[in-house]
Amino acid sequence: MEGFTIGKLARAGQVKIDTIRYYEQQGLLEPEGRTPSGYRAYGPETVRRLKFIKKAQHLGFTLSEIAKLLGFGTSLEASAGDVLAVTEEKIAEQKAKIDELKNLRRILHHLAEICPGEGPVSACPILDYLCPHDDLERGSGHE
């Protein structure tokens, strides 16, 4: 079998060889055969699959979600609705993360606004927010 060696596949997919091996362990990739000398051989479809995995990861899909999406692509029973459902779940998950990040940014902005930027560190409202003095008093002797 001629085709891509693991090194050529890694270069074509712009990943490390260890990444290819990991994806194989996870069942996302598999060699299509062996070279005459016994090395794993991969075909053009594996390169496409590898690029699919990388694009899906870039969009925030986990490897298990990617496995599900890849499975839909080879299933006779799956529909575009199945793919849409996984995508909509990802959108909702990312929206929740964005909302959380917006809240964290709001808190950080507030802390930056109330910090005078001068004076002793002991009077820093940012550090006080991170470790309030009353938490230290409640926590003493309870460790």
- Count Cβ neighbours within 10 Å for each residue of 11-30 and write b for 16 or more, e otherwise: ebbebeeebbeebeeeebbe
- The tens digit of pLDDT for each residue in 5-22 reads 999 999 999 999 999 999
- The tens digit of pLDDT for each residue in 86-110 reads 999 999 999 999 999 999 999 999 9
> What is the pTM for the complete model shown?
0.77
Contacts of 61 (CB under 8 A, 6+ apart): 69, 86, 90
> Which fold does the domain 1-59 belong to in CATH?
Multidrug-efflux Transporter Regulator; Chain: A; Domain 2 (1.10.1660)
Task: Write out the residue limits of the CATH 1.10.1660.10 domain(s) in the chain.
Answer: 1-59
